[in-house]
Structures are given as structure tokens and as C-alpha cells.
Amino acid sequence: MFCSKKKSLEVERRVKANDREYNEKFQYADNRIHTSKYNILTFLPINLFEQFQRVANAYFFFLLILQLIPEISSLTWFTTIVPLVLVITMTAVKDATDDFFRHKSDNQVNNRQSEVLIDGKLQNEKWMNVKVGDIIKLENNQFVAADLLLLSSSEPHGLCYIETAELDGETNLKVRHALSVTSELGADISRLARFDGVVVCEAPNNKLDKFVGVLSWKDSKHPLNNEKIILRGCVLRNTSWCFGMVIFAGPDTKLMQNSGKTKFKRTSIDRLMNTLVLWIFGFLVCLGIILAIGNSIWENKVGDQFRTFLFWNEGEKNFVFSGFLTFWSYIIILNTVVPISLYVSVEVIRLGHSYFINWDRKMYCSGKATPAEARTTTLNEELGQIEYIFSDKTGTLTQNIMTFKRCSINGRIYGEVHDDLDQETEITKKKEPVAFSVKSEADRTFQFFDHHLMESIKLGDPKVHEFLRLLALCHTVMSEENSAGQLIYQVQSPDEGALVTAARNFGFIFKSRTPETITIEELGTLVTYQLLAFLDFNNIRKRMSVIVRNPEGQIKLYCKGADTILFEKLHPSNGDLLSLTSDHLSEFAGEGLRTLAIAYRDLDDKYFKEWYKMLEDANTATDKRDERIAGLYEEIEKDLMLLGATAIEDKLQEGVTETITSLSLANIKIWVLTGDKQETAINIGYACNMLTDDMNDVFVIAGNTAVEVREELRKAKEILFGQNRSFSNGHAVCEKKQQLELDSVVEETVTGDYALIINGHSLAHALESDVKNDLLELACMCKTVICCRVTPLQKAQVVELVKKHRNAVTLAIGDGANDVSMIKSAHIGVGISGQEGLQAVLASDYSFAQFRYLQRLLLVHGRWSYFRMCKFLCYFFYKNFAFTLVHFWFGFFCGFSAQTVYDQWFITLFNIVYTSLPVLAMGIFDQDVSDQNSMDCPQLYEPGQLNLLFNKRKFFICMLHGIYTSLALFFIPFGAFYNVAGEDGQHIADYQSFAVTMATSLVIVVSVQIALDTSYWTVINHVFIWGSIAMYFSILFTMHSNGIFGIFPNQFPFVGNARHSLTQKCIWLVILLTTVASVMPVVAFRFLKVDLYPTLTDQIRRWQKAQKKVRPPSSRRLRTRRSSSRRSGYAFAHQEGYGELITSGKNMRAKNPPPTSGLEKTLYNSTSWIENLCKKTTDTVSSFSQDKTAKL
């Protein structure tokens, strides 16, 4: 029964308003959310399971069990259990702390208050207690608690305005409107309490832009679509109140369906170490088998002769069983090849690297008082191996602040600043901004530095006046006054706000509108224009027009739009002006500004009436209505007279362009995944130099069906590779491994720069199994990939696609809730603490305040972390092979008896005391080149991407190096001691003297080796390395002293040996010979390698050491001119405008109610905006003047 019920839920959802009892039988999820991984009951089993996925932990647990068996244990059990428990406990505490903060965040959200209609009364309820079918009241600026069906609102016709920044990253307002039958309910609580409509709709899903359902009420059915639904995560704006019915709650909401799961992340080095531990264990088993066989043979051939002396009975111990026990004994003795101290040291090093990130003042944002934060300590070295970056756009690359920068009016550019010699200059603080004449109405956040425009206005230039009049009339902006009497604009798009605000400051102030009129104030005079027609914007037209009648009775059509479209509509007499304006547009576009062309047309009264009659007929037509209307729009929007063009700056975050350039030089591919529109994303691509006019081609994939998408991908690949290569059509896909090998070869052979732009609808088809290989192949060949209009889940799917099929290390960076699933999916997730809340930061592994800090995080901290970790591992495996394999060689001379060659205390202390601190110092502080040179030369990052510094080959080299050192350590003292007498005539070839000589040689050899390996010396390195040698000798003489032997005679049998052995000159000669024999080959090899085949790092180190401070002069690319690629300033592409809404009057208030508060996000007169603008302007100038990244 339960299963069938669940199955039916997957098909459709049925919800009855105000009837919890009815809805509960369907067992819908409540509104509580969980983003945490554990609870009190599951923490221990799940965390231990995750920790024992690390092969080393399981390996040490197995060793612990072996050490508890006295017959085979030659080392005490506490040497393993104490560090194992310590490591597991430390990791568990860290995981528990991380999850505690997730619980805290969940509780904060779940305990938010909401007004719910219960038993005919509005009651305050916690979000987690809201149920499906409840009716909720929302007030202005409140977050939406669940996915709601809008029933009624304070606005006319049941309209409400919402901001969807947390869902799609867009901060512009969107309109939702209730059904007319429910909007009549208003705020009447008794009528709302009696509302018993039943909604039958789609099952929970992650599609943000789609909803299908039917409301059944009062014996009639009403279709529901996305325009009637308000989603969780939205914020109610500019609407006093609204009522909604809960359709999806908690985990079923579209926001949570898109959020993705918290995943257990491990680095590639962790995964490699798991493999290496298995290999080492296999190697130990082989050694153990060899020694066990040797023991069996020795016991059989030689051991019989000793049994009489050992008082063994004849049958007590046969040679096979002896070999079996010896095998396990040697497994325990040789396990120090991978001591647990390795994992403790790795965690300490990672913790140190994390603190370096947290303490880095160059990643501290003083404006927001926000430092960089490493929110996890386990992924640092993976920051040095990133191949793909997936970035959000809004709030990550851009500030989402539009500024009117320049314009061209009647062939003259305004917005440039000229010095005394009439040379164009950059804006500086010394230059005074324009003092606007209408100071009371001016938006104080707006600054313009060219005084010539104000002079033209004062002189009454008719073209300038007409230009500004057009900006004040041709738009979809709504106006209202706040409590202080200030004029407030509600904008559908930041672009429109920037243009209307510019006109306002220059004296053409948009005051108000009705469905039939637009009122503006022209240089202090109120003028009301009759609005005759509104020709709305859409993505095909790429323009909008208004037809108005001025007070003199003249009819005018004012039009603004993309220049590529508008220039085709101009009257032939505009030839010269068109050529000049076209040059100006190219100049604007070359600076990364978003451009619009501006034109008008005088209309004849009779012609307009005839045209309007045809428009009315087309509007009432049932057949081909849209085509007929579009045709009429085309007919009247012709023979236009060009006025000029506008240029708006979509302000990038500081340092974005330099960061992207630098990361590209580091061979990192950057993909932009944005919920924003295609035009906006392309504009930003050009602004931050991801797209350039020098590119060979820019492929735009915009198909609406799988067939169209496949065909577009095929054509793009034909252009990219040429016709001589055959491709799969999506149905016949070759074997994956062969395909990837082929891809990697082709990637090397593709010449030229290409870009791929794909929208969300096409991406949905492209991610299907039979097309995604084609998409991936094409995308990976392109220098730049931009995905527009993508849902949060699609972002995660793109990341997963690259992770799975390219086997590349990925990083995702974003600042909003819509980026959370992408951040969780990537190997590394970076959250920007921006304007859209802290959801991205809470889900991230690293966080900081601005995108530009990513350059330092990867090229400095990431590269250093990878370099240090690889160096640490190479040295650690080397020293432990050298330390441990001496037991193997000794086995052939001690009857394979599992006798340890060293004193047991030396074995215990070697990794914990004698060699732990020097290798930690190297792993935490070492650096091959300085941070500035790491930033200046991004190519240094490449070894991490290619995994050159620690891989299976490097491991085998370290292993061979360790084996060679172990041979020198054992056989040089063995040969020297063979039949040798000391200076006093007594023999020195006893076991204890041999052990002390080898141990001393070992400590000195590994200390000299780490001194050779250290690239960057600090006081700490010196203290730790030479201090460890001093510590060894002090502990050695203490443990071999008479005093400690007197107290613990069983624990310290090597009494007096150190004093006896180390006073012999021949012993020191043996130690010296062993050290030289071990170290000299390494010194010779490295010297020849650096001299004959220097790497880029070697060359820069040599340059650093020579202290050459000559650097290439900074090249200032202040005004790069591009010849084509003009970008329309219409950022609201792919979405119909508000034209129909305005002319219908649905959004007009009957009378002016008290204005609602909290419009901070849509106002253009907030203090922070002007501060940001001033700061950005000055920062941009200073960054150009001190530009150090230009040397790249």
C-alpha cells in the first residue's frame, strides 16, 4: 500500500487547501530541511565507515590485531593503537564540528517565523511546522517559506513582484500574478479560510522555469503555470502583502531539489596514497614470504642444531609453522614503511596550509572586513591541480551594477574627458563630476565627468534633447514616491534603470505613467505624452518602441535596440551619421561596454490610424496572431532617423580580467555557468576578455530539440576540425577510453581560439546520453565555454560531466544559493561572500570576498600546497624505506628470526621524534619560488595539473632511492665491522655496536638528505633539522646510561654502548663513509639535471638567487579597440518585457497608497551604490597605473 502510494506521488500531486487531514494521507514531506550529514545516532557508524575507507586506517587496524598476538609480535601493541585512535578521534572531532555548523544553519532556517492560516485565524508558525495545503501570508521583503500558489495580493489584479537572486542569480524583479478567481479573495481572512480548492499538479522536480497544474474550485477548473507560482528562496518585493497556498514543502521544493547532496571529498593524492598503501602492503607480503621461506629453510637445515640449547622438545615447533609465524612477525616489523605518523603529519601540514590561507592579508577584503577562509583542511594540495573552473556570473564576475558611461549623439561622443591639450585622458580623482542642474531630483549616485553634454543641453541642442527625451519615454520602468517624497524607480532590468537614471540627471525626469499616458519633467517643465502604442521587446526583435503623441499633437515613434537590428531599419538619408555612429559603437564595444542604438520616426496621423486599426484586428485574430503582430511592428519600425547610441558599463568585480588572463596562462579552462540571459553573459565574456574578436569562431548552440542540438554540435565540430574527420552522430559512440584518448590527441592538434555558448534548453538535450560526448568533445576543444539560462542542477550536471569523462580536477565558484549544487559537485567548492546571502559560503570548501583572490588561492597557496605535499611524501617514503628495509637485509644474517636490527626504542622514536619535525617544517614552510613570482609566471602551475611532482613513477624512484640507502646503511657498516678490532684491541663487531652505528648513520643521512631537499630555509628549518640530530644524541646517551638501566633494567638493555662505540674513530669514519655513499649520487644527479635540463622553476630560482630585479615594463591596455562584436545593452533577452502589463494597466494602482519600504535592492539612490561606484572608478584607475599582471 505504502509503495503504491509513493508510486502515485511520482506521477502527480493532489493538494487540498486548508485541509491538513486530507493531505496527510499522502504522506507529503513537511517543510523541515536537512543539509547536515549526520545525527547523534548515525555519526559514529557513518564517520567510522568514511574513515576506514582510507585504506591506511584499515591497514593499521589489521596490524593492531596482529600485535595483540604474543607469538608473532616483536613490537608492543600501544605503538599502533595510540596514534590510530588519536588520528581517528581528531578527524571525527573535525567532521562533527563541520556538521554542527550545518545543523545550526538548518535550525536557523527551520525556526524562521511565518504567518499561517489555521482554524480561521492567522497564527505565527515556525517554517518547519508548515504543511502542504496551508495558506500563508507573506509581507514585503520576506523570504518565501515554501513553493506557493499565489492566491491574492495587495497589488491590482493579484500581481506581486519577486526577486529570484537565490534561485537564478538575477537581482532584477519578476512579476507573478494570481488567477482572477482567487485574487478576488483579497485579504479577507474568513473567505480565505473557506477556500477549499484542490490543486492537481506535477510531482516534485528541479525545473525552475516550468510548472503544470490545474486548480479545481467551485465546479470549474483553472490551468496553472509558472507565472502563478512563487518558489521557496524568492523574496517578496514592492508588494505590501500576498497570500499563497503551499504546494511543495521542505525537500520537495524546487530550491532543495536543485541543492544537491553533501559529498565526501578526497584529493587525488589521497586516492593515490590508498593505491600505494595497497601496493606497499603487497610488497611487504612478498618480503615476508621471502623471509618466511628463508626461515623455514634455515630452521630445517641449521636450526635443528640449536634446539638442544634452547630446551625445545623435538615436535614442539616444526620448520613450516616457524616460517608461518615468522611471516607475520616480519609483517609487523616491516610495517614502518607506512607508519601512522605519515597520516598525522599529512593532517598537520594541511592544517598549517589552511592557516596560511586564513592569515593571508593579500586575500583580505577591507571593504567588507572579510578574510579568506579555508573551511576544510583536507583539500589544500588539490588547489594546485585545477584544470577546469566553473564560475557563476552575477555577483561572482560582476557586481551587477549598471552605469551609464558614454553616449554618441548626432555623431559626437560624450563621456570622454579631455585635458588642456585636448588629449583623451582617463578619469582621475582630480576631475570634477558634472554638477547637475536639477539637484533636488538628481540621483546622487550617478556621476558623469564630461561637462560638454550639460553644455549642449543648456544651449538647447534639439538632437540632444530628443535623445534624452527618448530615454525618459521608451522603457518599462515603474515609478513611485517613498515616504520622504523621493522618486523611486522599479526596474525590470538594471540596464533600463541606468538609462532612465541618466536621463533624469540630465533634466529629463520620468515622473509617472498610466496605461494611456507618460509624464516626464523636461528641464523643469511637466509634459504629459499620450501613449498610443507599446511595441514590446522580445529576443527575436531585440528592440522596443513606444508611439506617443506630444502636447503639440505630433505623433512620434521612439525606438531603442541592438544596433545590428536597428541599423537595418534606418532611412537612407542617415548614411553619414550611420557610419560615424557605427565607429563610435565599435569603440564602445572595444572597451567592453554594452551598447544600444537610439532612433525615432515622425508619423503621419492618418497612417498611424490605419496601422493601429490593423493592429487591433491582429490582436483579436485567432489564427497566426503573433506572426501578424510581428509583421505590423516591422512595418511601422522603418525609415527611422538615427539619434545616436548609449554605452553602459556592467561593472566587473575588481581584478576579474587580470585574474582570468592569469589563470588562462596557467592552462586553466574557465567555463561560465549562469542563470542569466545569453546577451548578458556574452557581454560579460567580452568585458573580461574571455571572448575576443581575435577568436577564430564563436559557436552558439540554441536548438530547441535534441535533433537540432545534435546537428548544431556536428556543424560546429566540422568547422573546428575540418571535414576530413568523421564524427559519431550521437548514436554510434565509440568506446569511451578510446574516445578520450583520441580527444586528448585532437586537443593538442586544434589550432586557433574558439568559444562555445549554449543555453539551458539546448543544454538539457545536450546532456542526454547520446549527445553529451559530442558536447564534451566540442567544449573541451574551446578556449571559453559559456552556458546561459542554466538551472542550479544543470550547473552540477555540467561539472559532473567533466569530472567523470575528462578525469580532471574541477573547481566551482559562486556566491548564491543557485550555485550550491555546483559547489558541492566539484572537487573544490569556493564561495564568495557576496550580496546573495551566505548559502554558497556555507556549502563551500574555501571562501573569500572577491573573485580576484582566486588567482592567489590557486597560483600561490594551491601551488605551494601541492609542491610541499609532494616533496613531503617523496621524502617520507624515501626515509622509511631506508629505515625499514635494513631489517630485510639483516634477516639473512640472523637466521630469519625476526630480530630487529635497531634498539626497540629507536624504532619507536624514529618517526615520532628524530625525523618528524624536519619533514613537517619542509611540508609547511618550503617554497620553490616566491609568491610574487608564482603570480607573475602562471606557467609554473602546470606541473600540478600534469601530476608531475608525485605519482606512481615518482614513488618508485623514492622507493629505489630508499632501497639503495638501506643497502649502504647495512652493508658498509657490516663490511667495516667484519673481523675488525677497535683501537683498544677489543672487537667492536657486537650486535649492539652495529645497531648504534647504523642508527646514527641513518639519522645523519636522512637529515643531510632533507637539508638537500629544502628549497626555502627559515630559522625553524635550521632548528628542527640540526636540533633533531642533537636530540638523537642526547636521547641515545640518556637511554644507554647506567642510571636509567638501574631504574628499568628490562627496558634499556643497551647499557654503556653509545659511550663505548661513539668514542671509536673508526666508527665515525664508517658513519662518514655511509653518509657520503648515500648522498653523493643524489647530489651529482641533481647538479647535472639542473645544469643540463633546467625546468622553469629552476630557471626562476636561479634568477631569484641572482636577485635580478629587472622586469618587463608594464604594458597598459587601457583602451583595446575591437572592430566588430558590438553587444546590445538589452540584458533582459530571452524574456518578454512588461509592455503588455503596462498598457493593460494591471500593474497600475487605483490611487497612490503609502509606499512600501525596503526597496534597497532596486533603488539607484542608495549610499552604498555611490560608494561602490566611486571606489570602483578610483580602484580601476589605480590598478591600471600599478598593473603588475600585465607583464604576463
Q: What is the pLDDT of residues 735-762, one digit of tens each?
A: 334 444 444 444 545 677 899 999 888 8
Q: Is the pLDDT of residue 327 over 60?
A: yes
Q: Which residue would you say has higher pLDDT here, 87 or 972?
A: 972
**Could you please report the per-residue DSSP string of 255-269?**
HHHTS--------HH
Q: Reply yes or no on whether the pLDDT at 836 is more than 60.
A: no
User: Sign (positive/negative) of CA torsion 787, 789, 795, 797?
Assistant: negative
Residue 1123 has pLDDT above 60, yes or no: no
| pLDDT > 70 fraction of the chain, expressed in percent and rounded | 82
DSSP H helical ranges for 35-77: 43-51, 55-67
Q: In the predicted model, what is the mean pLDDT of residues 818-829? A: 89
Answer yes or no: is pLDDT of 1154 > 80. no
Q: Is 895 exposed, middle or buried (CB count within 10 Å of its CB: 0-12, 13-18, 19+)?
A: middle
Selection from 496-500, 953-957, 1037-1041, 1145-1149 with the highest mean pLDDT:
953-957
Amino acid letter, 665: L
Q: Is the pLDDT of residue 1088 over 50?
A: yes
Under the banding of pLDDT at 50, 70 and 90, the label for residue 1170 is very low
- Averaged over 702-730, what is the pLDDT? 75
Q: Determine whether 978 is exposed, middle or buried from the number of CB atoms within 10 Å of its CB (0-12, 13-18, 19+).
A: exposed
Q: What is the mean predicted confidence (pLDDT) over 289-299?
A: 91
Side chain identity, residue 1057? N
Task: Quote the pLDDT of residue 1107.
Answer: 62
Helix (H) or strand (E) holding 529: strand 525-535
Helix (H) or strand (E) holding 1058: helix 1057-1061
Confidence of residue 425 (pLDDT cuts 50, 70, 90): low
Which range has the worst mean pLDDT, 176-180, 717-721, 870-874, 1052-1056? Answer: 1052-1056
What pLDDT does residue 1182 have? 41
- Can you give 751-812 as a three-state secondary structure string? CCCEEEEEEHHHHHHHCCCCCHHHHHHHHHHCCEEEEECCCHHHHHHHHHHHHHHHCCCEEE
User: What pLDDT shows up at residue 312?
Assistant: 55
DSSP annotation of 210 reads -
Q: Does pLDDT of 412 surpass 50?
A: yes
Of all residues in the chain, the percent with pLDDT exceeding 90 is: 40
Torsion of CA 652, 656, 660, 662, to 10 degrees: 150
Q: How high is the pLDDT of residue 422?
A: 45
Residue 126 DSSP class: E
- pLDDT tens digits for range 186-223: 999 999 999 999 999 999 988 887 898 999 998 888 98
Residue 440 in this model has a pLDDT that exceeds 60: no
Read off the pLDDT of each residue in 157-184 and give the average, rounded to a whole number.
Answer: 81
Q: Is the predicted pLDDT of residue 881 greater than 90, yes or no?
A: yes
Cβ(818)–Cβ(209) below 8 Å: no
CA distances (Å), origin 571, targets 445, 585, 1126: 38, 19, 21
More confident residue, 135 or 1133: 135
pLDDT beyond 80 at 539: no
Alpha-carbon span 124 to 134, nearest angstrom: 13
pLDDT bracket for residue 77 (50, 70, 90): low
The three cell numbers locating residue 751: 589550432
**Residues in CB range of 312: below 8 A, 6 or more apart:** none
Mean pLDDT check: name the lowest of 431-440, 534-543, 838-847, 882-891: 431-440
Q: What is the largest CA-CA distance in the chain?
A: 131
Report pLDDT for 478. 83
Residue 793's alpha-carbon distances to 32, 764, 825, in angstroms, are 21, 10, 10
874 or 445, which is more confident: 874
Q: What is the pLDDT of residue 310?
A: 58
Banded model confidence at residue 1137, pLDDT cuts 50, 70, 90: low
Note the pLDDT of residue 837: 55
Q: Which residue has the higher pLDDT, 955 or 987?
A: 955
Q: Provide the whole-model pTM.
A: 0.75
What pLDDT is recorded for position 922? 95
Cβ distance 334 to 883 under 8 Å?
A: no
Q: Give the separation between CA 3 and CA 633, rounded to whole angstroms.
A: 56
Would the pLDDT of 988 be above 80? no
Give the lowest-confidence range in 155-169, 339-353, 732-746: 732-746
Burial label for 483, CB within 10 Å (0-12, 13-18, 19+), is: exposed
Q: What is the pLDDT of residue 1125?
A: 55
Q: Chain-wide mean pLDDT for the chain?
A: 82
Instruction: Give the span between the Cα atoms of 135 and 137, in whole angstroms.
Output: 7
Specify the DSSP class assigned to residue 204: S
CB 1039 within 8 A of CB 1054: yes
Give the whole-angstrom CA distance, residue 1086 versus residue 1093: 10
- In Å, how far are 454, 457, 558, 644, 924 from 506, measured between CA atoms? 7, 8, 19, 16, 59
Confidence at 443, pLDDT banded by 50, 70, 90:
low
* pLDDT recorded at residue 469: 95
The answer to whether residue 1157 scores a pLDDT higher than 70 is no
Higher pLDDT, 1063 or 606: 606
Burial of residue 1149, with CB atoms counted within 10 A of its CB: 0-12 exposed, 13-18 middle, 19 or more buried: exposed
944 pLDDT higher than 90: yes
pLDDT surpassing 80 at residue 488:
yes
- Predicted confidence (pLDDT) per residue in 811-821, tens digit: 999 887 778 88
**Mean pLDDT on 486-491:** 82
Q: Write down how long the chain is.
A: 1192
Sequence-ordered list of residues with C-beta below 8 angstroms from that of 843, at least 6 positions apart, any chain:
35, 262, 820, 823, 824, 829, 831
Cα distance between residue 546 and residue 534, in whole Å? 5
More confident residue, 1119 or 244: 244
| Interatomic CA distance for residues 503 and 1159, integer angstroms | 21
pLDDT band at 570 (very low <50, low <70, confident <90, very high): very high
Average pLDDT over residues 969-994: 78
Taking the C-alpha atoms of residue 746 and residue 777, their distance in angstroms, rounded to an integer, is 9
Question: What pLDDT is stored for residue 750 in this prediction?
Answer: 65
pLDDT at 737: 41
Strand ranges across the sheet with 213-217: 12-16, 198-202, 213-217, 220-224
Contact 759, 786 (CB under 8 A): no
Can you tell me the distance from the alpha carbon of 756 to that of 753, in angstroms, rounded to the nearest whole number? 10
> Which one is predicted more confidently, 620 or 531?
531
Residue in the structure block whose three cell numbers are 540630465 = 506
pLDDT in the model for residue 1084:
95
> Residue 78's pLDDT band (boundaries 50, 70, 90)?
low
Pairing of strands 543-549, 525-535: antiparallel
pLDDT of amino acid 1013: 94
Q: What per-residue confidence (pLDDT) applies to 983?
A: 62
Residue 399 and residue 575 in contact, taking contact as beta carbons nearer than 8 Å:
no
pLDDT at 1111: 54
Q: Cell for 114?
A: 511565518
The Cα–Cα gap between 230 and 1133 comes to 22
**Higher-scoring residue by pLDDT: 503, 1136:** 503
Whether 885 and 963 have beta carbons less than 8 Å apart is answered as yes
Instruction: Report d(CA 900, CA 410) in Å as an integer.
Output: 94
- Which residues, in sequence order, are bridge partners of residue 153? 242
Residue predicted with more confidence, 1151 or 303: 303
1156 CB-near residues (< 8 Å, 6+ apart): 140, 238, 239, 240
Task: Please say whether the beta carbons of 730 and 711 come within 8 A.
Answer: no
| pLDDT level of residue 1061 (50, 70, 90 thresholds) | confident
Q: Find how far residue 464's CA is from the centre of its chain.
A: 46
Query: Which secondary-structure segment (H or E) carries 189?
Result: helix 189-194
Distance CA 546, CA 474 (A): 6
**DSSP class of 914:** I
Q: Distance (Å, rounded) from C-alpha 702 to C-alpha 1094?
A: 48
Q: What are the CB-based long-range contacts (under 8 Å, 24+) for 795-798?
A: 795/390, 795/392, 795/673, 795/819, 795/821, 795/822, 795/825, 796/260, 796/821, 796/822, 796/824, 796/825, 797/767, 798/390, 798/671, 798/673, 798/763, 798/767, 798/822
pLDDT tens, 619-643? Answer: 877 777 788 888 999 999 999 999 9
- The per-residue pLDDT for 196 is 92
Provide the annotated active-site residues. Answer: 392
Identify the sign of the CA torsion 317, 318, 324, 326. positive
